[in-house]
Structure 1
Amino acid sequence: MVQPVARSFYKETSFGRIKGYRYGDADAPAIVVQGGISASGRLWKPDKSGWWQSLHPVFSDLDDVQVISFDYFGGLGGSDCPAIPLTVQQHSEAIRQALRDETSDLQAWVGGSFGGVLGLQFAADHPTELTHLTAIGAAHKPSVHSALLRYFQQALIQRCGDDQSGIILARALAMLSYRTAEEFEQRFNHADDAFEYLLYQGEKLLKQNGNNCRSLFTHLTPILNDYSIDPTRVQAKVQLIDFHNDAIAPPSLVTELEQLLPNHTGRVTIETPFGHDGFIKNVEQYQSALTHFLTESQLESA
């Protein structure tokens, strides 16, 4: 059982200093877990306020594993913010370098959103180093629709005379892109209420992180507009989890990924009003499938 208590550490990589978190016994086989661009490696906390707290029940059922997670360069945690944004490939390589001293037994990678993209990149670049990958709400390239939404986020950051207003509006637009029209119809009686909710989300991000969160839109959001991963190079067993009405990783794009992967071993597509945020909101719907996949990885590495 992996307890929701992390021990943090720092590692020097060729791209800067990265902050990591370890859950469990350092001698146990490792599973890397990475979330979205705003994620911290502090996935779980005893007070249940971790970034991806809803995922912890999956790992509380697993024995004899450790979980390792990292803050992103240019993200909201304790890793460096390079002067020049890293590419998706460089982010993946930085994690690989940091893992070298932390484990000699990488069992699996579980990634949601940006973390899933990085897992695909890692598996494509180093096909012999990863045997099991779960990509949740992620694809091998950006959808045109999601890239357009990110372009507008970046334009708000660049063109707002008030930096804080730019951050608030960019985050509000990002939140809109993560959810669905269905949710907004069910949740709000009027567009004014929905708009206030989105602005609140932007203000919340700014209040919790200060102007430092601007780097989300200068260092992380832009690199998701032009990445391209060759799925045919991925030799790991890959489990795909995706969501209807996901504007970021639409099912049509995940189907293309599924058809190109040499060793695709299962797919779960979930109907949810939360769209892309289903990877956080709908863990219960894919928990059983993910647990089965990770248990399989344990048996194969034993």
Structure 2
Amino acid sequence: MVLPVGRSFYVETRFGRVKGFRYAADSGRADAPVVVVQGGISGSGQLWKLDGSGWWQSLYSVFAPADDVQVISFDYLGGIGGSDTPDQPLTVAQHAQAYADTLVKLGLTDISAWLGGSFGGVLGLQLAATNNQLDLKRLAILGAAHKPSIQSALLRSFQQLLLQHAENEQQGVILARALAMLTYRSADEFEQRFSHADDALQYILAQGERLLRNHGKQANTLFTHLTPALNDYAIDPAQVSCPVQIVSFSSDSIAPAALTSQLEALLPNCHSYISIETPYGHDGFIKNVADYARPLAHFIPELNSEIELPEIIL
């Protein structure tokens, strides 16, 4: 089975040093099939941990039974992990190129699948559409589309205004993260979870304080180096030749159904489109793993789709 402990590595690229993690099956074969897993901008390459605190821990049960696969994940350049922060923010295309260069330097050009949630899905689309260094067999996209939604672009623009006009950098980070949390979840989720708006306000502010407390200066780069890239990208789905699976979430305002449906129609080889009803909005790609686990395992043959998947606890 794929172990929940990743071996870290560093690779120098033209855009800075990239830190990554390799999660291998018990056999640990260096030439085992490769699946790249990338999450959102606030994620790290530490997908899974023994203590259950990995960034995408809920996804681990999907990969754990695979007996001959290696999972690769990267800390984002300018993100909260161990990769460098470039002097200038990178574009989506430059981010994708940096991680492609990393895989090439590792000798991993035959990629069985790229599984990307949110920002990770955008990068997967970018690579599949424009990169000829990698032989990408399959692409799974969760909560992402080929261009930003107008609402998500407004959100990120307003975050920049908060950073510029806050009394200090720390306050700006807290408010920007609080605004992000407001849009990552749906109105229904807030109605179900809180009895008063003041309680909800305290919750989203606490999430901003938590980000700042856990990541310090790096929390600021999420908004100066990563979020701006997502306001200015456009990927031509017609250039994506590999089979693609799209997972969309009904209440997602960052990658709304209108955009993911458009992406489905424009792709030459859309294998499947899965729409999930959830109150969790954009965070559905993390919170609703149990709802898309089985079709995902069927889409990526290396995940041994014929075996019984263990229960996934969110």
Normalising by structure 2, we get a TM-score of 0.93
Displacement after TM superposition at 1:63 (Å): 2.3
Residue 286 of structure 2 corresponds to 280
| Distance apart, 1:62 and its partner CA | 1.8
**Displacement of 1:298:** 8.2
**Contact 1:143/1:248, CA 8 A, preserved across alignment:** yes
Residue of structure 2 aligned with 1:219, choices 205, 225, 228:
225
Q: 1:238: Cα distance to partner?
A: 0.2
Q: Distance in 2 between matches of 1:120 and 1:212?
A: 26
How far off its partner does 1:148 sit? 0.4
Structure-2 residue corresponding to 1:67: 71
Q: Distance in 1 between matches of 2:167 and 2:195?
A: 32
CA distance in structure 1 between the partners assigned to 2:164 and 2:66 by the alignment: 45
Shift of 1:297: 8.6
Match of 1:143 among 134, 139, 149: 149
1:258-273 map, 5 Å? 258-273=264-279
Q: Unaligned regions of 5+ residues in structure 2, if any?
A: 306-314
Please give the alpha-carbon distance, in whole angstroms, between the structure 1 residues aligned to 2:139 and 2:263.
13
Partner of 1:190: 196
Counterpart AA for 1:116: G
Q: Cα deviation per residue 1:41-86 (whole Å; 9 max; x = unaligned)?
A: 0000011100000000110122211000000010000000001000
Q: Counterparts in 2 of 1:137-216, with a 5 A limit?
A: 137-216=143-222
Counterpart of 2:21 in structure 1 is 21
State the alpha-carbon separation in 2 of the partners of residues 297 and 147 from structure 1.
35
> Are the aligned partners of 2:62 and 2:303 in contact in 1 as well (CA < 8 Å)?
no
Q: Which deviates more, 73-82 or 150-159?
A: 150-159
TM-aligned CA deviation for residue 126 of structure 1: 2.4
Counterparts in 2 of 1:166 and 1:280: CA distance versus 1, 3 Å: same
- Aligned-pair distance for 1:220? 0.4
CA contact (8 A) 1:62 1:295 kept: no
Alignment match, 2:113: 108
| Separation in 1, partners of 2:65, 2:6 | 17
**Deviation digits for residues 21-58 of structure 1, max 9, x if unmatched?**
00003321110000000000000001110000000011
Q: Distance in 1 between matches of 2:76 and 2:65?
A: 27
Normalised to the residue count of structure 1, the TM-score between the two structures is 0.97
| 1:90 and 2:90 are equivalent in the alignment | no
Query: Which amino acid in structure 2 is aligned with residue 151 of structure 1?
Result: S
**% same residue:** 61
Q: Write the distance in 2 (CA, Å) between the matches of 1:166 and 1:249.
A: 25
Conserved 8 A contact 2:39-2:116: yes
| Distance in structure 2 (CA, Å) of the matches to 1:264 and 1:61 | 26
Q: Are the aligned partners of 1:120 and 1:140 in contact in 2 as well (CA < 8 Å)?
A: yes
Give the RMSD, CA atoms, in angstroms: 1.3
SS at match of 1:73: coil
Q: Conserved in 1, the CA contact under 8 Å of 2:109 and 2:135?
A: no
Report the count of equivalent residues.
299
Instruction: Tell me what 2:309 maps to.
Output: none
Q: Shift in Å at residue 101 of structure 1?
A: 2.9
1-structure distance, mates of 2:165, 2:105: 43
Unpaired segments ≥5 residues, structure 1:
none
Question: Is 14-23 or 56-65 further displaced after alignment?
Answer: 56-65
Q: Residue 105 of structure 1: CA displacement?
A: 2.7
Q: Find 1:121's aligned residue among 119, 122, 126.
A: 126
Counterpart residue type for residue 2 of structure 1 = V
Separation of aligned partners in 2, 1:212 and 1:269: 34
